[in-house]
Structure 1
């Protein structure tokens, strides 16, 4: 596992970011769900989708990639042993679990475990 499955653009002005990326790249943006607007970048096979969201206090601006893992808890444990910080513990959503780490160099990543 560890396959990149998505991205997240964090902005304090998500509506402005949405208009920018729609106009510049022709992205399709869905209705928001909890200040998160799902994004489709292309209809071509293998395209990676993601979302634009109101950046939280712990990551107000920036881009995070999201990786699919077999076990979020195991990945967090191993990441901590390697010097990563846990920004958000395992959160449950309808079809998946999500957590956020910051690697030892300061880069933020998302972890997704499908149900």
Structure 2
């Protein structure tokens, strides 16, 4: 079973939007990595997930995507395609994890993460 492990808010002004969430909800935003501002939304001993805010790409300029951790990103992509999904961002390797973006059979965007 694959779990939702985070979220990503796509924005056309990630720095300003990060400040908004920090000011309104008290989220702790870290310095950006690859244009992605990691967001801690609460203490790790409480229910919830963390995520981040990033510059939205052309295929998803504004919105919220869930990040789903999978055992094998390649197998998950193949299953998604088999069931009517499509890849909107091929697999990217970030050293200790891989990330790809998929659209499901009705057009909902989400990310796939495979940790090493």
Q: TM-score over 0.5 for the alignment?
A: yes
> How many Å apart are 1:56 and its aligned residue?
0.7
Q: TM-score, normalised by structure 1?
A: 0.95
2:48 aligned residue = 47
Q: Cα deviations across residues 9-62 of structure 1 (Å, max 9, x unaligned)?
A: 000011221111011100000001121110100014243111100101111000
SS of alignment partner, residue 22 of structure 1: helix
CA RMSD of aligned residues (A): 1.0
Instruction: Name the count of aligned residue pairs.
Output: 115
Q: TM-score, normalised by structure 2?
A: 0.95
- Structure 2 stretches of 5 or more lacking a match? none
2:17 aligned residue = 17
Find runs of 4+ consecutive structure 1 residues off by over 3 angstroms: none
